[in-house]
Structure 1
Amino acid sequence: MISSQRQLLSALLITYNEESNIRAVLDNLAFADEIIIVDSFSTDKTFEIASACENVKIVQRTFDNFALQRNFTIGLATNPWILFIDADERITPELQKEISKTINQENTASAYFMYRNFIFENKKLRFSGWQTDKIIRLFKKENAVYNCNKIVHEKLIVNGEIKKLKNKLTHYSYSNYNDYKQKMIFYGRLKAQEEFAKNTNPTLFHTHIRPAYQFLNQYLFRGGFLDGKKGIIICYLNALSVAVRFQELKKLQSGN
């Protein structure tokens, strides 16, 4: 049943050097009632481009970690529904319609998972572990907060029911090898901070077996070999992130 009162939607982004994505993602989010960006003092033209858009509110805040940055951004939203996406994600027309219909129904859930299509250099990656990739991107502001102990691949803590949307989000995560490699290294370093806070003691299991398992799991058991050369690249770089995590953890523990 459709709600008698139209529900308002805030589309949120956190950015750092997203000049190549920012125009497209802002155009993509034009259906939202407000768009809010928290930028981590980009050194490219991200801030200037976004600031020139009349329907966009952008503020700058020093980046500490993803969870805190996202929670800060949520605090700026004025509407009850939040659509929190990354600059390299896109809402298809079908998903846009589903979002608008969903939030205006009665008896809605507190949050909704979205499945994602992973795009590798403008083509969909069909396996390599991404075939079941899903993430919560739509939720009620009053019912959700990001777990501050998960500073990367942050987890949304939801008070209430969680459902799934049918239409998929498009994820343009891989544009080229070097950019994705640097992203995986960055994530690995942040994950090292999580492990350090948990007092993890890195052993040969962590530094050698965990990265190897990450690769083999995605490449063999999750079908990465079916993606050909692309599968090898993605599985290798994801395993690299695990290796970096424990290399950085050893540095943190030694004080270097």
Structure 2
Amino acid sequence: MTPRPFSIIYTTFNEADVIERSLASVEGWSDDLQIVDSFSTDGTAELLAGRPDVRLVQRPYSGPSDQKNWAIARARHEWILLLDADELVTPELREEVDALRSVPDLQDAYWIRRTNFFMGRRIRYSGWRNDRVVRFFHRDRARYNDRQVHEEIEVAGLRVGQLNGRLEHYTFKNLDHFLDKTRRYARWKAADAADRTPRINLFHLLVKPGFRFFNQYVLKGGFLDGREGLVICYVLAYGVFLRYAYLLAERRNLRA
């Protein structure tokens, strides 16, 4: 059969320093490469506007799931590969997707594993060992949930397969970026946790961060990733502390 056409989607904000590398990994692959930009201020939109292979749209940002679902509904083709600007498609994954496009009966969506890099080093443990995401899926069957942090395709009721090829994920540009993202995610997670956390106590501020560090660094082998693993596990534990510290501060401010 003729290989199915498919769309490639990115959502971006201030990705000028990484987006071209990701685009190079999918160059010439799809006739519908859509990028939804949230009014970047670093020149991302200007950079992309000069590319004839990109269909650029700018749209205000209200959340990651809303932005992605909006783009999914406007894809020209039924099948979609959705990527982040800090992800690279490996040649093995590209070949596997091409082969899949000629299979008569596909699943509704497919998990893709990611190889993560931090501070110039591949991270094999630290809770990232089994990192995988649903990124190749049918436009009319898959949508993202409404989480503000770590949004995912809802797989309940879907037939979901697993691909062997991987994405390379350069998740944090530097330590400042990691810390900034941790703070931002902590604020968003505080909002998500508000309804199910009536009181904040030492369990939330001390035990939960401590267990997160122990889980990531010891149980999930963060110590095997050396100094980089220690940094990752410590910052992730700090993010748990911040989540409840932000929630506590917000509630105190409302009472003042």
TM-score w.r.t. length of structure 2: 0.93
SS in 1 for 2:35: strand
Q: How does 1:11-50 map to 2 (within 5 A)?
A: 11-30=8-27, 31-50=29-48
Change (3 A) 1:200 1:48: farther
**Contact residue 65 and residue 152 of structure 1 kept, 8 A:** no
| More displaced stretch, 231-240 vs 242-251 | 242-251
Alignment of 1:149-160 (within 5 A): 150-158=147-155, 159-160=157-158
The code of the aligned residue for 1:14 comes to T
Deviation digits for residues 110-161 of structure 1, max 9, x if unmatched? 111111111123321111111111111111111101112x121012113421
1:184 alignment partner in structure 2: 182
Instruction: Give deviations 1:46-99, integer Å, cap 9, x for gaps.
Output: 111111111111111221111111111112211111111111010001111111
Q: Which residue matches 2:241?
A: 243
- SS of aligned partner of 2:150: coil
Q: Deviations over 1:22-58 (max 9, x none)?
A: 1111222221231111111111011111111111111
* % same residue: 35
Q: What is the match of residue 52 of structure 2?
A: 54
Matching residue of 2:102: 104
> Which runs of 5 or more residues in structure 1 are unaligned?
none
Q: How far did residue 240 of structure 1 move?
A: 1.8
Match of 2:7 among 7, 10, 13: 10
Identify the match of residue 77 of structure 2 among 76, 79, 84: 79
Matched, 1:122 2:109: no
Give me the whole-angstrom Cα distance separating, in 2, the residues matched to 1:41 and 1:17.
8
8 A contact 2:11–2:36 mirrored in 1: yes
d(CA) in 2 for partners of 1:179, 1:187: 12
User: Aligned residue pairs: how many?
Assistant: 252
Partner AA of 1:26 in structure 2? L
Please say if residues 3 and 98 of structure 2, whose CA atoms lie closer than 8 Å, have aligned partners that are also in contact.
no
Match of 1:162 among 160, 163, 167: 160
1:222: which partner in 2?
220
User: 1:5 and 1:197 mapped to 2: Cα distance?
Assistant: 50
- For 1:252, what is the secondary structure of its paired residue? helix
Q: Secondary structure at the match of 1:179?
A: helix
Contact 2:108 2:159 in 1 (8 A): yes
CA distance in structure 2 between the partners assigned to 1:95 and 1:200 by the alignment: 45
**What value does the CA root-mean-square deviation take over the aligned residues?**
1.5
SS of the equivalent of 1:146 reads coil
Q: How far, CA to CA, are the matches of 2:70 and 2:148 in structure 1?
A: 13
Query: Structure 1 CA distance, aligned partners of 2:99 and 2:199?
Result: 48
